[in-house]
């Protein structure tokens, strides 16, 4: 579908996602329209850029959404989504409050959606 690639900067943040999944691509398309931070680079896990990032961060065999912040910290699954929420415009940025729940609970929800994502129509 698309990959957003902007000039790299020291402040660059990355979101890597599965573009073979129409649900994932649709969500990224919607999210990208409500994010004000132009330093977030959206790219596919299987793109050349995505493969370089995965190799540089030693993230091979990760079949999940990956968010890398400006400090080069890596977040996956629900943590990646919540970190991205911080950059969304109001009221969507309020979803970050879900961070009060333990990761294992949030990841149960994430894993359920991930398991069925190819069947979900948006």
Domain total in the chain = 1
Q: What is the pLDDT of residue 51?
A: 92
Q: Is residue 5 part of a domain?
A: no
Does residue 122 form part of some domain?
no
Examine residue 57 and state whether it is found in any structural domain, yes or no.
Answer: yes
Asked if residue 1 is part of any domain, the answer here is: no
pLDDT band (50, 70, 90) for residue 10? low
Per the document, the length of the chain is 122
Tell me, yes or no, whether 39 lies in a domain.
yes
Instruction: Provide the domain limits for residue 17.
Output: 13-116
Buried b (16+ CB within 10 A) or exposed e, 75-111: bbbbbbbbbbbebbeeeebeebeeeeeeeeebbeebe
pTM of the entire structure?
A: 0.85
Distance CA 87, CA 100 (A): 18
Tokens of 22: 């129409």
Strands 13-17 vs 66-68: parallel, antiparallel or unpaired: antiparallel
């Amino acid at each position: 579908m698309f990959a957003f690639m902007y000039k790299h900067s020291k402040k660059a943040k990355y979101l890597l996602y599965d573009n073979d999944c129409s649900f994932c691509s649709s969500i990224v398309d919607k999210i990208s329209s409500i994010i004000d931070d132009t330093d977030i680079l959206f790219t596919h896990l299987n793109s050349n850029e995505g493969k370089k990032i995965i190799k540089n961060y030693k993230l091979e065999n990760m079949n999940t959404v990956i968010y890398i912040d400006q400090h080069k910290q890596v977040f996956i699954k629900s943590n990646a989504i919540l970190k991205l929420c911080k950059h969304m415009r109001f009221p969507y940025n309020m979803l970050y409050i879900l961070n009060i729940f333990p990761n294992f609970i949030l990841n149960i929800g994430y894993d359920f959606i991930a398991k069925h994502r190819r069947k979900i129509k948006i």
